[in-house]
Amino acid sequence: MSAERTPRQVSLARLVEFGVVPKRSLGQNFLVDDNIIGVILQRLAPLPADVAIEVGAGLGILTRALAEVVARVHAFEIDRSLAPALEATLSDTEVAERVLLQYRDIMKVPLESLEPLPTICASNLPYSVAAPFLGEALERLPSVRRYCVMMQKEVAHRLAASSGGKDYGSLSVWVQLHARIVEVRALSRTIFHPQPNVDSSLVTLDRSPIDPLVTERPTLMRAVVEGAFSQRRKLAVNALSASLGVPKEALGDVFRLAGVPTQARAEAVEPHGFVALARGLMEFGLDDRYNETPGRSGRAGSG
């Protein structure tokens, strides 16, 4: 393959050459626009020593562009049938030796064990994986300073939502406890092949300073955030009482200590309010059930 060929030519040529029939069930909407690769690299601002992680390498267009500018790329692809096309895109020696390619479901990868640890993330995320992957990666990969990822517009709005609106939920809180959303930019459906049935956005996230309680007690934090949103129509104190199994009266004291009104619904509580509630539970000794256990499998902020 000539390095000068544009992604449109490469993606479409690969599809024909290898007889690839995109699988909608795996969110296979391949990038066929060269401009967007440039935009991703510009927003990502990679350094030569960076280690990138990419979820869903597909035909390898983005993987290759990343490998040309960073030291290593951890590329994951669940669909082994793409191997001939993907490996053809990555076949140049220089590129090939920088790409650590694994045919695996990203949701089964122990992210914290990746070697070397990723420092940036760029992906055209498959629909079903975008929210759960980000929830996990933000918790388990503190080494990643910036994400520049494509996802369904509706998920992007949930990530960036402010308290008080219908889009604000456990995913918004979890993401905003770990990162700052720098930009959400609408994407045209024409940059993908086949064109998806939904709109997509490009989102840039920068890791932000994190309250130590979030990193030290993620299980407790998740229980508080997800418990509060488990019954959105109820007051947060009632929803949490049911989900944590703590009497409402005791929780009332926790809310008062945390400075969160007992009349608030979860959607009115700012991200730092959930940290204050978790801290309050600890103060009153109501956090025992949520001690960290090795090998926990909860999916943070996936909803």
Q: From the CB of 301, what's the least distance to ligand SAM, in Å?
A: 17
Contact range with ligand SAM by CB under 6 A, out of 75-83, 209-217, 218-226, 294-302: 75-83
Question: Which of 52, 61, 141, 187: binder of ligand SAM (CB under 6 A)?
Answer: 61
| CB-count exposure of residue 48 (10 Å: 0-12, 13-18, 19+) | exposed
Is the CB of residue 175 less than 8 Å from the CB of residue 137?
Answer: no
Q: Which is nearer to ligand SAM, 28 or 176 (CB)?
A: 28
Look at strands 51-55 and 120-124 and give their pairing. parallel
Kind plus residue range of the DSSP H or E element containing 271: helix 271-283
CA 183 to CA 168: how far, in whole Å?
17
Report which of 152, 188, 148 is spatially closest to residue 167, judged by C-alpha positions.
Answer: 152
Question: Which of 10, 20, 41, 62: binder of ligand SAM (CB under 6 A)?
Answer: 62
Q: Which is nearer to ligand SAM, 73 or 235 (CB)?
A: 73
What is the per-residue binding string for ligand SAM in 21-60, x denoting contact by CB under 6 A?
-----xxxxxx-----------------------xxxxx-
Q: Which is nearer to ligand SAM, 126 or 280 (CB)?
A: 126
Question: Hey, what amino acid is at 181?
Answer: I
Kind plus residue range of the DSSP H or E element containing 201: strand 200-207
Q: 77-116: which residues touch ligand SAM (CB under 6 A)?
A: 77-79, 105-107
Site residues (CB under 6 A) for ligand SAM? 26-31, 55-59, 61-62, 76-79, 105-107, 124, 126, 129
